[in-house]
Structure 1
Amino acid sequence: MSMTLFLTVFSGLSIIYLLLGYFASRNIKTTNDYFLAGRDLGIASVTFTLIATQLGGGMLLGTSQEAHSVGLYGILYTLGMGFGFLILGLGFAQKLRSLNVATTAELFETRYGSPILKKFASILSIVTLCGILIAQIVAVKGLLVGLGITNEFLFIAFWVFVILYTMLGGLKAVVITDIFQVLYIIFLFGFIFLYSLWQEPSNFFTLANIGQAQSMFGTTAITMSSFTGTLLMPALFSLIEQDLAQRFFAARTTRIAAISALLSSCFLLLFSLVPIYFGMKAQLLGITLPDSASPLLPVIEFLTNNIISSLALCGVIAAITSTADSLLCAISSNIAQDFDFPFIDNKNKLWLSQAITLITGCVAVAASYFVPQNIISILIGSYEVSVSCLLVPLLFCYFKTRVKKQAAVGAIVFGLAGFVLFRILPLPQSIPRELATLALSVIGYLIGSKKF
């Protein structure tokens, strides 16, 4: 790999991101502009920024990492997100846009009439999104380690750029950079993928060849619980996820929200072939990897040349950036809009939002040094806590006209109890703990509805 070329392209992209953030910030006057882009995003903008929320460390690096261990089953995480987007496109996205709120947690106040529940839901959302953001930071670290790059200054400098341009321009800056980043990723990795397939002696994606390749991977580590969790949690979380909902809230119309979700689903399912192929290829080629390293770039470096692998490294960093800035903006939105800051007047709320973005980013980078280094496990664990507590009451308030605060309390309490209990008391392997927890949450909701 050409480090000179990588550093040149990396520096150039970082400067472009900062410039885009600066230009976006010039038209921001209110927190509505900062967090929702004036609720004026069209199909192309919403589609690209939805794709960008998922085209990060989890999909590219995490999926290839899983494929290196279990072959085709590594696609489960991306399948879950693709199915979630499909459900959103078939009605949920339109419903979210029609609610006319700024955060999903806000529904606990507007529909259930409880400011306390809104704050609790927001805290859960913040914890979850912070976990996902930390997973992106871990992904960059694993990526650089896998390439033998252990320069902490480079690692920190990258995240400083991400935090600064997100702080400057809010969602507008995120959307503009997302479009740029996703186009770069599609063209670059599409070319590398097709070139690698063309070099294959036979079609890798025939049933016979796939079956033969899969036989070389062990699947003993895949249990019913891990299978269900990896597939189900991303799909369900997408229905309540603040960084996705923020895009739908910012869409110009409900129709734009629905079409964008469907287009994003199709893209994610198709593009997932890229990390699956390179992850499996690393195992088939016998490439040795350091612990916790993703095989994606080492395989590309093996199959291509220094120039392509350097550009691919920049592409992966662009993918992680496109997800990380979305998460950072969503976390800041939860903090700034779901909690009261009486010492700040309306004139200074925009400044407060930017300060929150800066602090959140710095805390997430620091926290990345104290968590496990497996990307997918961090993601799934982060999803689970919000889904367990918030999915049931939010789904009911999406589609039910009359809802009760006590029902939401019951769903959250029972869901949280299940989340904790089923980690202490083992269930039969045929009963996934995620489904058992959701069943408890439904029971809690029904008890609250009937009792009060």
Structure 2
Amino acid sequence: MNLTFSGADGIIILVVYAVIMLVVGYLAGRGKKLNESLNDYYLAGKNLGIIALFFTLYATQYSGNTVVGYAPNAYREGFSWLQSIPFMTIIVGVYLMFAPRLYAISKRANFITPTDWVTYRFRNKAVTILAIILMLWGLGNYLLEQLVAIGQAASGLTGGTIPYEYAVIGFVFVMLTYEWLGGMKAVAFTDVMQGIVLMVGIIVLLIGALTLTGGGISSLTSDIATTAPEKIGVPDSITSVNWLSMILLVGFGAAIYPHAVQRIYSSQSERTLKRSLSRIALMPPITTGFVLIIGIIGIQLFPDLDTAASEQLVGLMANEVAAINGFYYWMMVILFGGIVAAIVSTADSALLSFSSMVSNDIYGKYINPDAPEKKKVKVGKFAGIGVIALLLWIAWNPPGTLYQIFVLKFELLVQVFPAFVLGLYWKRLAAVPVFWGMLTGAIIAAAMTLTGNSTLLGVHGGVIGLAANFFICTVGSLLIPASQAKQDEAEERSSMKLEEIKYNEKTGSLG
């Protein structure tokens, strides 16, 4: 982002945010034996209240990339990017489809990671391992996206005083430090800070941008109709199909983000979870809706930007808004500091989830099942450092625009959805069709992406793979259903009645 803010002002704001994050991490972990318990370190003791849960879910669904990446996409596509509102809304609808039921089961069976549910439901090593691979892939892509955005936002905020690479390294160090100190609780509390700043900042940026246009939305659309009519007209059939495809891809994929699922586990109660989700449902128009308008305003203020230049749109607009007066200047500085903090808070969620899956799902289940929880937590922490080092190497030469990186992670992650959600409600769903459905869907999606044909007639490869996945899961389970004994066991395990679930409370095993 090409900002003309004072480099010193930007550095001051970034240092303030960094110090706040470190203090939050210290306070969250002070006097607590987080390193000795997977439940305490990765799930905040399953005791997040409505405010912390709301903001940590908000941070999972939105990040600084929502502002930095979505506004340029609205600029390039015009009003057809209205799809960003329903695909963020459908995520909440999908949450409500499975989250309360999954929460009730996770509370009784002591789940730590998303694939604990897959293991518990299917009792099939192949299904569990494939689900782990696909979820780790999604998390890796998500982390890469955030690292790229951290560097761009911090470098832009300081006017290039802090180079891209140094900005990434500096905030990764801050993130690792407070996450090590406070685990999920530190992550959730920093999410509260960044969520408030992001919401207020987006509103101020929108008001400032509307001030620059000197008119309302109606005059804005009239101007665009004259200068860029293709961005305001009715989308063609391929664009409309692509819109629906994106809604399905993001709606189903984002709802089963590993770190989103772990926030479901972390809720203080089912009532707290439902109340948080009901409030999250109000956020798409306020967040992605406002960002859409900001991108549309950019069409009038900065016409004829190419793809590369349009990626700098938010920075260009912030410069203009900051020049209005001193209030707007400092609000823009605070906003961009908040964007950096928001990106960091989103990255820390993904990193924490990645670490938990390595420590619990790979090391704890297959390498050293008898390891004490303290050792598992330590393994997860060092695994997090390892994956960050790898992704930093990739981030020096980021592959494509932020939006393109964003899309990549869903193509494979979404293939876990049938096993994850159908398994909650359909007792006949069998492990073998689930495995082959996931694998086939993943191969189709990966093949289309790697060959450069990420869509077919507007439909994303991930959605085509998901359709094949659902077909194999359902038809295979109908033709070769699980035995009656396994069906009865599946019904018992997916029941919401406490007395029907048997597990070892002392050891927390999934037995």
Structure 1 length normalisation: TM-score?
0.90
Which amino acid in the other structure matches residue 87 of structure 2?
G
Which deviations, in whole Å up to 9, do the C-alpha atoms of 1:362-392 show, x marking residues without a partner? 32222223442311211111111121x2111
2:51 counterpart SS class: helix
Which deviations, in whole Å up to 9, do the C-alpha atoms of 1:305-355 show, x marking residues without a partner? 343332222021122122111111111121111113428433423322322
Alpha-carbon distance in structure 2 between the residues aligned to 1:42 and 1:309:
31
**Aligned partner (choices 221, 224, 229) of residue 213 of structure 1:** 224
Alpha-carbon distance in structure 1 between the residues aligned to 2:135 and 2:322:
41
Say whether residues 1:310 and 2:310 are aligned partners: no
Residues 362 and 168 of structure 1, relative CA distance in 2, 3 Å threshold: farther
Which amino acid in the other structure matches residue 303 of structure 1?
V
In structure 2, the partner of 1:25 is: 29
In structure 1, the partner of 2:139 is: 129
Say whether residues 1:240 and 2:226 are aligned partners: no
Is the contact made by 1:397 and 1:403 (CA closer than 8 Å) also made in structure 2?
yes
Is the contact made by 1:213 and 1:284 (CA closer than 8 Å) also made in structure 2?
yes
Residues 187 and 436 of structure 1, relative CA distance in 2, 3 Å threshold: closer
In structure 2, the partner of 1:441 is: 469
How far residue 218 of structure 1 moved from its aligned partner, in angstroms, is 4.2
Superposed counterparts of 1:100-139, under 5 Å = 100=106, 101-139=111-149
How far residue 213 of structure 1 moved from its aligned partner, in angstroms, is 3.0
Say whether residues 1:34 and 2:41 are aligned partners: yes
In structure 2, the partner of 1:155 is: 168
In structure 2, the partner of 1:273 is: 289
Residues 54 and 431 of structure 1, relative CA distance in 2, 3 Å threshold: closer
Say whether residues 1:255 and 2:271 are aligned partners: yes
In structure 1, the partner of 2:319 is: 301
**Aligned partner (choices 8, 11, 31) of residue 4 of structure 1:** 8
Which deviations, in whole Å up to 9, do the C-alpha atoms of 1:209-263 show, x marking residues without a partner? 4365366264589745643443221111133211111111100222222221221
Which deviations, in whole Å up to 9, do the C-alpha atoms of 1:3-44 show, x marking residues without a partner? 111111111110110111122122224110111111111221
Aligned identity (percent) is 21
Alpha-carbon distance in structure 1 between the residues aligned to 2:76 and 2:245:
17
Residues 231 and 253 of structure 1, relative CA distance in 2, 3 Å threshold: same
Say whether residues 1:362 and 2:389 are aligned partners: yes
In structure 2, the partner of 1:283 is: 299
Alpha-carbon distance in structure 2 between the residues aligned to 1:57 and 1:218:
28
Which deviations, in whole Å up to 9, do the C-alpha atoms of 1:19-74 show, x marking residues without a partner? 11122122224110111111111221111111111221431111111012112233
1:238 counterpart SS class: helix
Residues 110 and 158 of structure 1, relative CA distance in 2, 3 Å threshold: same
Residues 6 and 432 of structure 1, relative CA distance in 2, 3 Å threshold: closer
**Aligned partner (choices 399, 408, 413) of residue 434 of structure 2:** 408
Is the contact made by 2:201 and 2:332 (CA closer than 8 Å) also made in structure 1?
no
In structure 1, the partner of 2:214 is: 201
Which amino acid in the other structure matches residue 408 of structure 1?
V
Which amino acid in the other structure matches residue 337 of structure 1?
N
Which amino acid in the other structure matches residue 19 of structure 2?
I
Residues 212 and 88 of structure 1, relative CA distance in 2, 3 Å threshold: farther
Say whether residues 1:178 and 2:191 are aligned partners: yes
Which amino acid in the other structure matches residue 13 of structure 2?
V
Which amino acid in the other structure matches residue 205 of structure 2?
I
Which deviations, in whole Å up to 9, do the C-alpha atoms of 1:76-122 show, x marking residues without a partner? 34531222113323x32212212312222222211111133212211
Is the contact made by 2:298 and 2:317 (CA closer than 8 Å) also made in structure 1?
yes
Which amino acid in the other structure matches residue 367 of structure 1?
I
How far residue 136 of structure 1 moved from its aligned partner, in angstroms, is 1.4
Which amino acid in the other structure matches residue 207 of structure 2?
L
Residues 333 and 81 of structure 1, relative CA distance in 2, 3 Å threshold: farther
Which amino acid in the other structure matches residue 22 of structure 1?
Y
How far residue 302 of structure 1 moved from its aligned partner, in angstroms, is 0.8
Residues 311 and 253 of structure 1, relative CA distance in 2, 3 Å threshold: same
Pick which of 77-86 and 313-322 moved more: 77-86
Residues 117 and 60 of structure 1, relative CA distance in 2, 3 Å threshold: same
Say whether residues 1:14 and 2:18 are aligned partners: yes
In structure 1, the partner of 2:407 is: 380
Say whether residues 1:67 and 2:74 are aligned partners: yes
In structure 2, the partner of 1:451 is: 480
Structure 2 gap ranges (5+): 324-328, 482-511
In structure 2, the partner of 1:88 is: 95
In structure 2, the partner of 1:339 is: 362
How far residue 125 of structure 1 moved from its aligned partner, in angstroms, is 0.4
How far residue 430 of structure 1 moved from its aligned partner, in angstroms, is 6.5
Alpha-carbon distance in structure 2 between the residues aligned to 1:198 and 1:236:
38
Alpha-carbon distance in structure 1 between the residues aligned to 2:343 and 2:279:
21
Alpha-carbon distance in structure 1 between the residues aligned to 2:480 and 2:190:
50
Alpha-carbon distance in structure 2 between the residues aligned to 1:370 and 1:231:
29
Alpha-carbon distance in structure 2 between the residues aligned to 1:436 and 1:360:
30
Alpha-carbon distance in structure 1 between the residues aligned to 2:438 and 2:298:
43
Which amino acid in the other structure matches residue 176 of structure 2?
I
Alpha-carbon distance in structure 2 between the residues aligned to 1:107 and 1:268:
29
Alpha-carbon distance in structure 2 between the residues aligned to 1:141 and 1:425:
27
Is the contact made by 1:14 and 1:161 (CA closer than 8 Å) also made in structure 2?
yes
Which deviations, in whole Å up to 9, do the C-alpha atoms of 1:117-162 show, x marking residues without a partner? 2122111101111101111122233435666526132332122212
Alpha-carbon distance in structure 1 between the residues aligned to 2:186 and 2:345:
11
Alpha-carbon distance in structure 1 between the residues aligned to 2:278 and 2:93:
6
Structure 1 gap ranges (5+): none
Which deviations, in whole Å up to 9, do the C-alpha atoms of 1:250-295 show, x marking residues without a partner? 0022222222122112113322233223222233112768547331
Residues 19 and 358 of structure 1, relative CA distance in 2, 3 Å threshold: farther
CA RMSD of superposed structures (Å): 2.7
2:282 counterpart SS class: helix
Which amino acid in the other structure matches residue 310 of structure 1?
V
Is the contact made by 1:56 and 1:320 (CA closer than 8 Å) also made in structure 2?
yes
How far residue 415 of structure 1 moved from its aligned partner, in angstroms, is 1.4
Alpha-carbon distance in structure 1 between the residues aligned to 2:386 and 2:177:
11
Is the contact made by 1:97 and 1:248 (CA closer than 8 Å) also made in structure 2?
yes
Which amino acid in the other structure matches residue 8 of structure 1?
I
Structure 2 length normalisation: TM-score?
0.80
Residues 140 and 425 of structure 1, relative CA distance in 2, 3 Å threshold: closer
Alpha-carbon distance in structure 1 between the residues aligned to 2:229 and 2:352:
39
